[in-house]
Amino acid sequence: MAKVLMKGNEAIGAAAIKAGCKYFFGYPITPQNELPEYMSREMPKVGGVFLQAESEVAAINMVYGAAGAGARVMTSSSSPGIALKQEGITYIAGAELPCVIVNIVRGGPGLGGIQPAQSDYNQVTRGGGNGDYKLLVYAPANLQEMVDLMQEAFDAADYYRNPVMMVGDGMIGQMMEPIEFKESKSRFELPNKDWSTVGTKGARKPNIINSLALDPAELEKHNHKLQAKYDLMKANEVKYETYNMENAEVVIVAYGTTSRIVRNAIIDLKEQGVHVGLIRPITLWPFPEKAFDEVPADCKSLLSVEMSMGQMVDDIKIASNGRWPVSFYGRCGGMIPTPEAVMDKVKELVGGAK
Amino acid sequence: MSVVFQKTKGLTDKQTHYCPGCTHGIIHRLVAEVLEELDVLGETIGVAPVGCSVLAYEYFNCDMQEASHGRAPAVATGIKRVHPDKVVFTYQGDGDLASIGTAEIVHVAHRGEKITTIFVNNAIYGMTGGQMAPTTLIGQKATTAPLGRTVEHSGMPLRVSEMLSTIHGAAFVERVSVDSPANIRKAKKAIKEAFECQLAGKGFSIVEVLSTCPTNWGFTPIDALKWLQDNLIPYYPLGNFRRPEEVK
């Protein structure tokens, strides 16, 4: 297929519809508004439904109802809106319902700002709501990758019966890039949704969508079942990319659009004789711990570069497990790291005085 | 021997957890009988709330979803938009619907969502132990209003049916009570009309059912019915507020 030039938020919508998403429930918030707007135009054309809810809370609960009724369903929002959706997301995880949630991240805390940020790292990788649960979280670095991952996101949601989150910083939502919508075959054998509430037709016992278990032993058992599912995701769903790891004196860990800035810095540093590697998590959860086995033993430092205040540092330390020191450089509030600032931080770590 | 009465197919055989004298059991039965009589049990998806009737998903003999507190109308919206040909209902108490879920109930009516809501109003939070609700009467004692509710502190009790009947999309709004055999018969008639309204695609339908809470009101079941008659009905008048021919 020929490439088309599209804005990120619209490309997300197009990719979701192509992946078979038929229902979208959303609420306006910047910088993701082009996505619900696109869905309001395009969903009716494919026999689907777009509905603007009265709040993020209502939107995610509409997703719960639609997912429980067997639909392929999506919602989108941005950071403070995702915080509001957390109630619904934990119920969706608890009731084991499939859906895709898009989070076009903006600066916080509170109302924060509307410029790109990555300060939802903890919000998206720690479950986000109450209880022990995890989301499968993709963080693409460009629009093509985001479009390519969308089919997989819906399939994985159905396969694991678990909410999946697609995270893009504000730049992913707002930038335009050429995209090719490729035909891809699902790598999952998708199970029948015989658990969904579609009416018994008097032919079977009622199906119940529920996250309540008042008996502690039953609830513990349910948690063990969920945990086994998350372990399976950890084994099978980790995605990452490494770059320039050979002889790296410093290995930078960066995801999303930040990783593209870092890559430019790495190329420039190489010309100056400084070898720097890159680990780019594509799944934020599960975190690509095994990528760190590629880090040279004599690497001087790992460096987390983020558009947040070091939220990913904990995961890097866990993955490093004391093998290398971990440093941090980040900008936040909608400020974007420059390649020069990243280079300066690397030079500081390798001991090269400016 | 001829059968003169039998349990509706609309209820499962599960024993309910409701307190002695609680009228939830009656209301469950009325809803279940209506679904059976309309022959839609196999085409119905119900949504249970958080509150005393949280376990309603174990009692109604149809597909069920359990929603988070107050969000049943949003969950029902998601279901109905996926299956517009199915019957979808929510069953909610007054803490769930009239407090934490006010946005969801107003907007499900505002959209004219073709679902039916059974709103059980007993003027108190039952499940959590008798706290004050927006529907608690002036002077009525609650565990969070130990001296009784006052207007100055908490305002006047919220009349949900009156409020919703101002919304265009609310096609059918009626308040009933289950304090006497005659009122129970009227309640069933209203519930049936509400579901028929949904089946005819007229818009949102809601039946508010005045109910007792002997445990948290601190009365015997009989005295609780009397208290409902003497106190709830005067403030929450029974009757129809909207029916489809009035929706223009």
Q: Supply φ then ψ for residue B208, to 5 degrees.
A: -90, 125
Per the CB < 8 Å rule, is B63 touching A208?
yes
Convert the pLDDT of each residue in B24-61 to its tens digit: 999 999 999 999 999 999 999 999 999 999 999 999 99
Chain B residues whose CB is inside 8 A of the A201 CB are 42-43
Q: At what angle do helices A8-18 and A143-160 cross, to 10 degrees?
A: 40
Tokens of B50: 């958080």
Q: Are A98 and A20 in contact (CB under 8 A)?
A: no
Tokens of A198: 């579609």
- pLDDT value for A136: 98
- pLDDT value for A183: 87
> How many whole angstroms separate alpha carbon A8 and alpha carbon A14?
10
Residues in chain A: 354
Q: Are A157 and A99 in contact (CB under 8 A)?
A: yes
pLDDT band of A156, cuts 50, 70, 90: very high
Convert the pLDDT of each residue in B119-130 to its tens digit: 999 999 999 999
Chain B residues whose CB is inside 8 A of the A87 CB are 68, 71
Q: Is A95 helix (H, G, I), strand (E, B) or coil?
A: coil
Residues lower than pLDDT 50 in chain B:
248
Convert the pLDDT of each residue in A66-125 to its tens digit: 999 999 999 999 999 999 999 999 999 999 999 999 999 999 999 999 999 999 999 999
Answer whether A197 touches B (CB < 8 Å).
Answer: yes
Q: Give the nearest partner residue to B66 out of A57, A206, A209, using CB atoms.
A: A209
Nearest to A136 by CA among A144, A127, A148: A127
Distances in whole angstroms, Cα of residue B175 to Cα of each of A109, A345, B92, B107: 45, 69, 14, 20
Answer whether A61 touches B (CB < 8 Å).
Answer: yes
- pLDDT value for B248: 47
Q: Tokens 């050429």 identify what position?
A: A178
Tokens of B157: 């009790």
Nearest chain A residue (CA) to B113: A51
Per the CB < 8 Å rule, is A95 touching B66?
yes
Per the CB < 8 Å rule, is B71 touching A55?
no
Produce one character per residue of A127-150: b if its CB has 16 or more CB atoms within 10 Å, e if not.
Answer: bbbeeebbbbbbbbbbbbbbbbbb
Annotate A107-158 with DSSP letters as a single string: --STT--SSB--TTHHHHHS-SSSSS---EEE--SSHHHHHHHHHHHHHHHH
With a CB cutoff of 8 Å and minimum separation 6, the contacts of A235 are: none
Answer whether B168 touches A (CB < 8 Å).
Answer: no
- pLDDT value for A111: 96
Per the CB < 8 Å rule, is A208 touching B74?
no
- What is the mean predicted confidence (pLDDT) over A312-317? 98
Percent of chain A's residues with pLDDT above 70: 99
Per the CB < 8 Å rule, is B63 touching A88?
no
Answer whether B131 touches A (CB < 8 Å).
Answer: no
> Helices then strands (H, E): number in chain A?
11, 15
Percent of chain B's residues with pLDDT above 90: 97
Q: Where are the domains of chain B?
A: 24-243
With a CB cutoff of 8 Å and minimum separation 6, the contacts of A36 are: A24, A26, A27, A28, A50, A52, A76
Q: Is A31 helix (H, G, I), strand (E, B) or coil?
A: coil
Distance from CA of B84 to the nearest CA of A (A): 11
> How many whole angstroms separate alpha carbon B182 and alpha carbon A335?
69
- pLDDT value for A353: 46
Q: Are A37 and A76 in contact (CB under 8 A)?
A: no
ipTM: 0.97
Q: Is B131 helix (H, G, I), strand (E, B) or coil?
A: strand
- pLDDT value for A352: 59
Answer whether A68 touches B (CB < 8 Å).
Answer: yes
Beta-sheet pairing, B239-242 with B170-177: antiparallel
- pLDDT value for A354: 44
What superfamily in CATH does domain B24-243 come from? Thiamin diphosphate (ThDP)-binding fold, Pyr/PP domains (3.40.50.970)
- pLDDT value for A292: 98
DSSP lists the bridge partners of residue B44 as B87
Answer whether A208 touches B (CB < 8 Å).
Answer: yes
Residue-averaged pLDDT of chain A: 97
Distances in whole angstroms, Cα of residue A312 to Cα of each of A165, A281, B5: 17, 11, 66
Percent of chain A's residues with pLDDT above 90: 97
Q: Is A323 helix (H, G, I), strand (E, B) or coil?
A: coil
Per the CB < 8 Å rule, is A73 touching B78?
yes
Domains and CATH numbers, chain A: 4-236 (3.40.50.970), 240-350 (3.40.50.920)
Per the CB < 8 Å rule, is B74 touching A73?
no
Nearest to B48 by CA among A215, A209, A29: A209
Distance from CA of B27 to the nearest CA of A (A): 20
- pLDDT value for B247: 55
